[in-house]
Amino acid sequence: MKTKFAILLLFQLLFIGNSFSQDFAPIGATWYFPETFSFSGDIGVVTFSSIGDTIIQNKQAKIVYKDTWTCYGEAKDYYFHQSNDSIYKYVPSTDTFELSFIFNAAVGDQWIINELPEFDSDSMECTVDSISFIHLPPSDSLRVQHVTLRPFDINGNLFPNGYPNRIIEKIGFSIALTAPFESICDVNREKDIRCYEDNQSGLINFSAVDCLLTSTEAIDKENAINIFPNPTTNSITLAHQLLTIKQIEIFNVQGQKMATIKSGFEQLDFSNYPNGIYILKIVTTEKILSKKIVIEK
């Protein structure tokens, strides 16, 4: 497996790695992820719960139980070891602890995640693109790394396109705790984290809905991107509040990419497009969304 760290990251590990004091997965901690059902469109809830401590390879490890099987791994116990600001996941098939995330990583830092050897997946490169903060009342905040995950193919080459994700301080990846990248999958999978709670921080709700809500209508409203007019003759307007758009790709119904737009997302011009149905692939800092538009002149 490949191991790759940026120079700045090495500097941090050598000189300031001990500055991170957050306890990952304290006993009783619970993560709540919405679960999308591939064919029915239904919404469920996937939870991870820290249920105990154990020793593996003379290392202290937290036992985190996942309650539902999804594309990102089966329902079972997972084991995480913390070393300063770095979190490692135990992989039974290789009897190794593999690096998952680094809470103190800075913009530009990179590392390799050997995430799924038990499912014949090699590894992926994680790159920190930017840093932001989630402000919690009354005065706390959580540091957030906005990252891009790029898988390696069977020949050891990086795929050209990456998948956006977030690493939230003390919580971990915001999409899929155990296999955090937006791959194409034909079964149910976790989406962006809805809630987290432990005895130190209490309940943190990252959305406007209940942690255990399974109403697709309420969840759609939570992160809605409204497009109007649709159908349209010349242009469309995108209205959204909770998402930060990075780029938009336009595809026709044959799957051909027509354009990539990297700015000016509020209004898109379709005056030069013929009548028909088009798909917008909207890449945000948290997730990838698809919207259908119709052009009728």
DSSP string for residues in 112-150: EE---GGGT---EEEEEEEEEEEEETTTEEEEEEEEEEE
| Cβ atoms of 216 and 54 closer than 8 Å | no
Which residues fall within 8 angstroms of residue 224, CB to CB, at 6 or more apart? 240
Query: Rounded mean pLDDT of the chain?
Result: 80
Domains of the chain, by residue range, sit at: 7-214, 223-295
Does the domain at residues 223-295 carry the CATH identifier 3.10.200.10? no
pTM of the model: 0.65
| Cβ atoms of 205 and 31 closer than 8 Å | no
Query: Which pLDDT tens digit goes with each residue over 11-33?
Result: 343 433 344 557 899 999 999 99
- Mean pLDDT confidence for 44-72: 91
Query: Which pLDDT tens digit goes with each residue over 119-150?
Result: 445 688 999 999 999 887 766 889 999 999 88
Which residues fall within 8 angstroms of residue 171, CB to CB, at 6 or more apart? 31, 142, 193, 196, 204
83 vs 242, more confident: 83
- Mean pLDDT confidence for 244-264: 84
- pLDDT score of 81 more than 90: yes
Percentage of residues in the chain having pLDDT higher than 70: 78
